[in-house]
Amino acid sequence: MIVAAGLFTASHSFAKHSTSPSRLPQLFAEDSENEEEGPPDAVVKKLGAMMDTQTFERKESIKSDGKHAPKDATVCPIDIKNAEGKVDLKLFFFKGDNGKWSVYDEAGNVMHES
């Protein structure tokens, strides 16, 4: 009975803090507006596997040569910086054929948004 009460409380708490359906269209609208500027901040943090102490800086977009991203795709370079402001990692974000964001690093390792 104690376990059941705990599960009920946890699910009730989750429901209070989850995004309401009325907010979802607004979230997608914000993403589509910023699409020209590159990936949304949440995607950068997720695919960059960033820690809370890290920040990032967007660089000027470039066109892909077809080596890691589709030929002529817009590539958005982003520097991941540590707490001291020094660059830890340089990442290159692009939209894949499926419309989702992907990223590759300087070594050519590619990771896709799930």
Distance CA 32, CA 80 (A): 23
pLDDT of residue 36: 57
- What one-character-per-residue DSSP string does 42-79 give? HHHHHHTT--TT-EEEE---EE--SSSS-TT-EEEEEE
pLDDT of residue 29: 41
- pLDDT mean across residues, the chain: 78
Structure tokens at 95: 């939209």
Q: What is the DSSP letter of 37?
A: G
pLDDT of residue 96: 86
Distance CA 47, CA 26 (A): 23
For 13-24, write each residue's pLDDT tens digit.
444 444 444 444
Predicted model pTM: 0.67
pLDDT of residue 69: 93
75 forms beta bridges with 62, 94
- Give residue 23's domain range: 2-112
Distance CA 114, CA 95 (A): 13
Name the domain count of the chain: 1
